[in-house]
Amino acid sequence: AKLKEKGINDQKILSVIKKVPRELFINQASAERAYENIPLPVECGQTISQPYVVAYMIDCLKLKKTDKVLEIGTGTGYQTAIISHLCQKIYTIEIFSKLFSQAKFNMDKLKIKNVIYKLGNGANGWQEKNFFDAIIVSAASEEISSQLLQNLKINGQLIFPKKYLFENQKLILIKKIGENNFKKKELFDVKFVPLLSNNAQH
Element housing 116 (H / E): strand 115-119
Q: To the nearest 10°, report the CA torsion of 145, 148, 149, 154.
A: 180
How far is residue 146's CA from residue 148's CA, in Å, rounded to a whole number? 5
Active site residue 141: no
Task: Catalytic residue, from 49, 84, 138, 141: name it.
Answer: 49
CA proximity to 139, closest of 39, 30, 60:
39
Beta pairing partners, 170:
162, 189
Provide the annotated active-site residues.
49
